Amino acid sequence: MELYQLKTFVAIAEERSLTRAAERVFTSPPAVSAQIKALEDELGVKLFDRTSRGMVLTEAGARLLEEAQRTLASAGRMRSTAEQLRGAAKGVVRFGTVGDPVALRLGQTFLTLAERHPQITLQLQQGVSNDLLGELQRNELDCAYVYTDRADIEGLELRRLCGIELAVGLPLPAAGTNPSPSRDEVLAMPWVGTPTGCMLRTHLDALFTSAGREYREGTMANSERVVRSLVASGAGAGILCLDNAVQAERSGELTVWNGWRGHTWLCWVAPLQPGAPDVLDAVRGAVLEAWG
């Protein structure tokens, strides 16, 4: 019995699909099927039934799943202890960040590092994406979360973590008088902008440019959280991440305009250098694990 077989077993149980489980454990569906068949032969019990609803645990499979999860957790703790015993990564990492720490899964990253690399300290510095990229290139930061549409940036390692959909939030009074405004009517409203270099500002400028207009600065916010608050107060329209905008609409703070959607990426970025420090490897691993 191998740990990779147990990882595959858990992946199929949670995904209920050979294809999705294969993607999760970075192999092919036939290989996943073969691993489960070998595990079933070794254990002498059937673990799954194939149904129209996907792969469903048998009674024996459900009981053994808990054992598999405990075994994998124990193996993880053993690896963590071994890393600490051999003097694993140690030092301070200057970590730039944008947006809501909860949405960025920073808590999960912190917990993983605290468990596996207790001698690493993260120093968080908040800023807008373009400023953070400049600080990375000037070696003023060691890594950062940024929003960017770019697929690669010279001199930097860029890992796309999650696609981000964008939407326009309208103040309730404006939406109440005109529930289906045209693009020209929306662009004629007062707007809440963000500083140049912020991802939200980049898309705001692009929205106005697509209509042959130039965005003129008015009310300014230094974060998406403040944009949401100002839109809710009636100060003007503003661009938000779609999930944040929908949450605000459900809370009765604003309404989401259906005439526009944008897209960008949340990325982890670090200087591209040979022989990167162990501490940076550890942070990279914790970030990627937090994002699956």
CB atoms under 10 Å from CB of 266, counted, come to 23
Residue labelled with tokens 């917990």: 111
Both 178 and 235 in one domain: the answer is yes
Residue labelled with tokens 């500083």: 195
CA 104 to chain centre: 6
Question: Does the pLDDT of residue 183 top 90, yes or no?
Answer: yes
Both 261 and 210 in one domain: the answer is yes
Furthest C-alpha separation in the chain? 71
Both 173 and 261 in one domain: the answer is yes
Both 261 and 271 in one domain: the answer is no
DSSP code at position 151: S
Least confident of 129-133, 256-260, 270-274: 270-274
Task: Tell me what pLDDT residue 87 has.
Answer: 52
Rounded-to-integer distance, Cα 70 and Cα 75, Å: 9
Rounded-to-integer distance, Cα 154 and Cα 275, Å: 18
Both 271 and 143 in one domain: the answer is yes
Question: Does the pLDDT of residue 275 top 60, yes or no?
Answer: no
Both 96 and 137 in one domain: the answer is yes
Both 100 and 221 in one domain: the answer is no
Q: How confident is the model at residue 83 (pLDDT cuts 50, 70, 90)?
A: low
Task: Tell me what pLDDT residue 150 has.
Answer: 87
Least confident of 52-56, 83-87, 179-183, 217-221: 83-87
End of a domain among 64, 85, 106? 85
End of a domain among 70, 85, 100? 85
Question: Does the pLDDT of residue 273 top 80, yes or no?
Answer: no
What CATH number is attached to the domain comprising 219? Answer: 3.40.190.10
Q: What percent of the chain has pLDDT over 90?
A: 55
Both 55 and 139 in one domain: the answer is no
The number of folded domains in the chain is: 3
Both 116 and 202 in one domain: the answer is no
Both 76 and 98 in one domain: the answer is no
What CATH number is attached to the domain comprising 80? Answer: 1.10.10.10
Least confident of 44-48, 60-64, 277-281: 277-281
Tens-digit pLDDT profile for residues 191-248: 999 988 888 999 999 999 999 999 998 899 988 889 999 999 999 999 999 999 999 9
> Domain range holding 52?
3-85
Rounded-to-integer distance, Cα 248 and Cα 215, Å: 24
Rounded-to-integer distance, Cα 69 and Cα 47, Å: 14
Is the dihedral angle over the CA atoms 92, 98, 101, 103 positive or is it negative?
negative
Task: Tell me what pLDDT residue 84 has.
Answer: 61
For residues 50-66, one letter each, b for 16 or more C-beta atoms within 10 angstroms of the residue's C-beta and e for the rest, the string is: eeeeebebeeebeebbe
The arithmetic mean of pLDDT across residues 177-201, rounded, is 90
Both 150 and 215 in one domain: the answer is no
Both 186 and 236 in one domain: the answer is yes
Task: Tell me what pLDDT residue 166 has.
Answer: 95
The 3-class secondary structure across 229-277, one letter per residue, is HHHHCCCCEEEEEHHHHHHHHHCCCEEEEEEEEEEEEEEEEEECCCCCC
Tens-digit pLDDT profile for residues 95-148: 999 877 667 888 888 888 888 888 888 888 988 888 899 999 998 999 999 999
Tens-digit pLDDT profile for residues 144-164: 999 998 888 888 999 999 999
Is the dihedral angle over the CA atoms 199, 201, 204, 210 positive or is it negative?
negative
Tens-digit pLDDT profile for residues 15-60: 999 999 988 888 889 999 999 999 999 999 999 998 888 899 999 9
Per-residue CA distances from 1 to 37, 89, 98 (Å): 12, 31, 44
